[in-house]
Structure 1
Amino acid sequence: MDMLRWEVVLAVLGVLVPIVAALYEFVFVGRKRLGYRVQMDTTATDAVHARYAGIQYAGALQQLQDGDGTRLVDPSFVLLRIENSGATHIDIDDYAVLPDDRVGVRVEFPGRRVAGMVVTELSDDFLRPCFSDDSGLSVRDGVIELPKVPLNRSAHYKVLAALERTGETGTGADPQAPFEPPRVIGGIKGGVGNGGIQETRSQTGTPWQAVALVCFLVLVILGQLAFSVFGREDAAAPLDCAGGELTLTGSTAFEPVLREAAKAYQETCGEQGVTFHHDYRGSKEGLDALAREGAREGEGNTRMLAFTDGGKRDDQPLLLPRPVAFTLFTLVVHEDTGVRDLTLEQIGDLYGGKITNWKDVGGADLPVRLVSRLSNSGTRDVFEERIFSGSRRLVRTSDDCRTPLPGMPRGPVNCERGSTAGVLDEVARTPGAIGYSGLDDASGRKDLRLVRIDGQRATLEAADHGAYPFWETEYAYTYGEPPARSLAAGFLRYLTNEVGRDVVRSRGHRPCAELQNPVLCRPAPQPARPARAVSSREAGAGEGSGG
């Protein structure tokens, strides 16, 4: 049995044993119980009182007389306590005697006869009528007869009896000889065991049952602690920990999340021999690399994961997607453009070539310069799909983002960069430049200004309510199904557990597991928008080097 199952067994025992003990004590054993205690059984002889000869009343006990006036020769005294020691009350109908028998309990004293008897203590004053003249309280043939007394829980009464030794009591009798204990005869219908009255003990210390139960629970706690501390040293690594090498490729927008998650995974599972390789060159190129790697190694045996902003092409059927998060993107501008908010229509006019100067949208008198990603970028696909829906396809018209290439049409220059960092750096150093990137990458830049779209900032709440349009689902792709204990499968599970979700969330993304429909992994539906006249994929392949 492995460590986890032992921990479960100990935890179950730690809960069940006290429950069973309580049920046994208070439901089964303590259901209904009549008990008695002999609280005093002592003699009163001359030898006992010789040492008190100087006291005025030293011989008082010697003057005790029987009911017929005969002086007691060898008197003794017994104090008997009758009590309800169970968990429920006892009624007069509960005594195991015939209905017309007024006596509920009888007490015999072997070797002695009863010279006198009195009820000395009642736990409750309302019990007093139970011992009236016609209650059945009497002494008959040397036996004390006690009436059927109703007793609530813990209720009791006490009986003091004066006794005389029977048989030979001459000078040869030993006054110190012990008496046999009293015999208490009585029973309760439906009581513990056979229902008979049971002798109880005065609890002056902790019961051994309680001590045993506490010791057992301490052992359970120590056992769980030992398994937690020492058992983990020899235990196998968790299921999600797997050794080997894994290459992470694809989206540069998701790169910070993957680098941080890979580092955290290595810290957790480092003993398994984990190595990550990072190669982020864009979503499309990442998918192509995964397809080539999978074709070489075979389905399900790849050591590569590709992450993309959006879906794959239709001609890659063996690439299987798994939604990981939805990612927010943002427009960024050079700080001197003077623009902080653009409508979707203005963005379309900027990238469509209708607006060439920032003053036309309330900004500074600066020419508009566009900075885009390469055509293999998933971020560019997201931008063209969700933001720029113009009929003009983006074409690279400049290399330095300032000077148009020969033969290019008039309008804002458009240059392209191969990574998110490249776009952000170019916008930051080019006056009048505008670009786009993942929100997390842009948020930490103090040399750029983030642009609202239709008055909405790039927030998860705005995207969730359909007010912010620039977002996309981040997918992880495998070539076929990876083995369950492979590093690829383990890392994918890690991204969706608590630690992995914390990493995704800390970078400004929303983990798919936190959405209402994790399978679709998308915010609430957005308001309907006019369809684009011509999409980037419809505008003819091969036009220019970018897309």
Structure 2
Amino acid sequence: MPNSWVAGVLDVDRPREWGLYGFLGEWDQLVGDLPLEIVLALIGIAVPIAAFLWEFVLAGRRRLGYRVQMDTPVTGEIASVFPGVLPQLRPSLDGASPDLKDISVVLVRIENSGVTTIDSQDYKAPEAARVGLHLRFPQRRVIGMAVTELSDPALADNLDTDSGIAVREDIGGHVGVIDLPKVPLGPAEHYKILAILQRSEGSGDYAPPVLRGGVKGGRVIETRSRTGVSRMMLVLTVFLVTVIVVQLVVAALEPSPTPLECASGKLAVVGSSAFGPVVREAADQYQKRCTGAEFTFAFEGTERGLDRLAEEGAGNPGLLAISDGSKGSGYPTLVYRPLALSLFTMIIHPGVGVRSLTVAQIQDLYLGRIGNWREVGGPDLPVVLVDRIPGSGSRNTFERRLLDGRQPDRPHVSCTALKGTVTTEAAHCDVRVTADMRKAMVEIPGAIGYSEFSEAIEAGLPTVAIDAAGAGRDAVVRRTYPFWGVEYAYSNGELPGDSLAASFLHFLIDQVGKDVLRAHGNAPCADLPDPGRCLPDS
């Protein structure tokens, strides 16, 4: 044994570091570090387990019980058809015995109410003695007795006339006693004693019978018929309900713990108007879990967002830009993070009525080769091409996926200028953001444009199938639908690991934010069978 350990134990100046005090100190420190609801849950588990162990392993392991099933005075015979019959009865036929009066009948069940067998050597009576128990009847004498209802016929061998079972009187004849032998009883085994008794003294109600004796490693107890909920079960139920109620109160009063992935601070998100609604909803979900986060938004288009990030984002982790596609080579300090395959669709004015176009027809429309809708199965109505301004991520995606990067230069025309005018030939106009595109589709007859798919559906605009394929996330993943892009989040340089921007991007890419992406029809890059599709220039 190390000398230092001995010295520590014998050091009377350090009483709290060793022994019971030290253990309690360590326990108090451990419990003090746990949330209250966890402590309550541990208590709620420990108490029933302790009660079970006490009831069935410790106290209830070896238990001999007795139950008074009947204790009935024999009265009422005076008013019977044959009054006076009972006093005329005698315990014997010699005529010398006293009259029978104040008679009672008692039925007592002796049972093994524990979980282990009680053998003859388990009784606390001396080993040489045959008697192990004494059934006592205060204020009454026993004038007749019989053993009834053996749970196992083999018990009769331990209760015959040679077993030691006998009737006697104690304390001057005022207490009747039935001596019972050391009967081996397995779990739930029992036998019954039927006794005919006569009052020996006193008046009024009889004192209840009592079984005296003992068993080693257990006890003798009075049991009762279980016709309802046991007291132990009732106490445990009340205890567990109390623990649950306290946990609910604690959970309601205490603020929700902040998840480890949360970060606090301010974050401005700028860029793509097409992806703006997705980012706003994801930010709302993030703030519900991370109350210390604050977001601001400026979705004015991809180019404006990238420009602002390049100008203001150096050394500023509180600024992110969202882009509908790769940034190109003009922003060398910006670092990309793929978010999702974004689903786009062609949209038209409700009066056009065309519901499907081929890629070749879309190219002919935007290259000016088709100027009237009747050429593609629609009404006699001039085509009005609605385009996003140059630099828009949605426009870059449209040109890349459907126009092979080709579109003629056109002078800028505001779509607001075409509103309310009657066009007799093909025309075009430009919009800055997705909301303006949706508005132009409603206000300009003959208009055709494009937008993020979920935005078009939410606005109730007619969408156009491409090469007979409808827009859908699964179709994009299977490459059967051609109009899609990749949404990227950009930062100016790498982000600190504890920043709100890094935490929010992690939320979008790997956590609940992915559900928001899916709800808007997007396919998270992290879930793709071929994540390489989300790389720039893929």
Q: TM-score, normalised by structure 2?
A: 0.67
1:230-309 residue pairs with structure 2 within 5 A?
A: 230-232=253-255, 244-262=265-283, 276-295=295-314, 298=315, 301-309=316-324
Aligned to 2:37: 7
Aligned 8 A contact 1:323 1:518 in 2: no
Q: RMSD between aligned alpha carbons?
A: 5.5
Q: State the shift of 1:331 in Å.
A: 0.8
Aligned residue type for 1:225:
L
| 1:456–1:92 Cα change, 3 Å | same
The yes-or-no answer on 1:139 pairing with 2:166 is: yes
1:36 and 2:36 aligned? no
Q: Contact 1:252–1:282 (CA<8 Å) still a contact in 2?
A: yes
2:432 matched residue in structure 1: 418
Q: Residue type of the partner of 1:21?
A: A
Distance 1:137 1:510, change over 3 A: farther
Q: Deviation string for 1:429-461 (max 9, x for gaps)?
A: 555443211123323446x53211122222334
Identity of aligned residues (%): 36
Alignment pair present for 1:339 and 2:354: yes
> Displacement of 1:222 after TM fit?
2.9
Alpha-carbon distance change, 516 to 269 in structure 1, aligned in 2, over 3 angstroms: closer
Partner of residue 397 from structure 1, selected from 410, 416, 419: 410
Instruction: Write out per-residue CA displacement over residues 375-394 of structure 1, whole angstroms, 9 at most, x where no aligned residue.
Output: 3222122223322226xx22
Distance 2:412 2:136 in 1: 119
Task: Give the counterpart letter for 1:435 in structure 2.
Answer: G
- Which stretches in structure 1 are left out of the alignment for 5+ residues? 45-50, 166-173, 188-193, 404-410, 524-536, 538-547
Aligned AA (2:47): V
Classify the secondary structure of the residue corresponding to 2:313: helix
Within 5 Å, give how 1:153-232 maps onto structure 2: 153=188, 155-160=190-195, 184-185=212-213, 187=215, 194-196=216-218, 198-202=220-224, 209-232=232-255
Map 1:348-427 to 2 at 5 A. Answer: 348-352=363-367, 354-366=369-381, 368-389=383-404, 393-400=406-413, 415-427=429-441
Distance 1:437 1:503 in 2: 18
1:199-249 Cα offsets, whole Å, 9 max, x none, are 2243689765445433432331232122122223xx776667766443221
CA distance in 1, matches of 2:207, 2:285: 81
Check whether the contact 1:66–1:115 (CA below 8 A) recurs between aligned residues.
Answer: no
Contact 2:159–2:165 under 8 Å retained in 1: no
* Cα distance in structure 2, aligned partners of 1:16 and 1:114: 49
Query: How far apart, in 2, do the equivalents of 1:104 and 1:472 lie?
Result: 95
Q: Pick the aligned partner of 2:476 from 448, 463, 478.
A: 463
Which string of whole-angstrom CA distances, capped at 9 and with x for unpartnered residues, describes residues 231-281 of structure 1? Answer: 23xx776667766443221101012333455567678877x5x65433223
Tell me, in whole angstroms, the C-alpha distance in 1 between the residues paired with 2:121 and 2:479.
75
Distance 2:532 2:190 in 1: 68
Alpha-carbon spacing, 1:237–1:92, altered in 2? closer, same or farther (3 Å)? closer
SS in 2 for 1:376: coil
Residues 355-364 or 130-139, more deviating: 130-139
What SS is found at the alignment partner of 2:468? coil
1:107 to 134, 149, 169: 134
Rounded to whole Å, the distance in 2 between the matches of 1:287 and 1:237 is 32
Q: For residues 360-407 of structure 1, give each alpha carbon's deviation from its aligned partner in whole angstroms, at most 9, with x where no partner exists.
A: 4333445555332233222122223322226xx22322333899xxxx
In the alignment, is the contact (CA less than 8 A) between 1:290 and 1:479 conserved in 2? yes
Contact preservation (8 Å) 1:322, 1:475: yes
Quick check: 2:272–2:302 contact (8 Å CA) kept in 1?
A: yes
Displacement of 1:82: 1.0
Task: Give the 3 Å change call, closer, same or farther, for CA 65–481 of structure 1 in structure 2.
Answer: farther
8 Å contact from structure 1 (residues 104, 148) kept in 2: no
Does 1:477 find its partner at 2:490?
A: yes
Helix, strand or coil: the match of 1:34? Answer: strand
Separation (CA, whole Å) in 1 of partners of 2:412 and 2:59: 92
Q: Deviations over 1:110-159 (max 9, x none)?
A: 99999766335427585785577578464399973437465563744225
Distance 1:449 1:42 in 2: 91
| Aligned CA distance change for structure 1 residues 381 and 105 (closer, same or farther; 3 Å) | farther
Runs of 5+ in structure 2 lacking a partner?
1-30, 170-177, 418-424
Kindly tell me: are residues 516 and 242 of structure 1, through their superposed partners in 2, closer, same or farther at Cα, counting changes over 3 Å?
closer
Counterpart in the other structure of 2:4: none
Structure 2 counterpart SS, 1:330 = strand
> What is the alpha-carbon distance in structure 2 between the residues aligned to residue 472 and residue 155 of structure 1?
82
Amino acid at match of 1:200: E
C-alpha contact (below 8 Å) 2:335/2:491 kept by paired residues: yes
Do the aligned residues in 1 keep the contact of 2:151 with 2:189 (CA within 8 Å)? Answer: no
Counterpart CA distance in 2 for 1:428 and 1:66 is 119
Aligned length: 481
Summarize the Cα distance change of 1:114–1:381 in structure 2 as closer, same or farther, 3 Å threshold: same
The residue identity in structure 2 corresponding to 1:251 is S
Correspondences of 1:43-62 after superposition (within 5 Å) = 56=84
Tell me how far 1:10 sits from its aligned partner: 1.6
In the alignment, structure 1 residue 122 sits paired with structure 2 residue 152: no
Q: Identify the residue that residue 51 of structure 2 maps to in structure 1.
A: 21
Say if 1:493 and 1:359 are closer, same or farther in 2 by CA, change over 3 A.
same
Distance 1:238 1:315, change over 3 A: same
SS at match of 2:462: strand
- Deviations 1:171-207 (CA, angstroms, capped at 9, x unpaired): xxx989x9999775565xxxxxx34552224368976
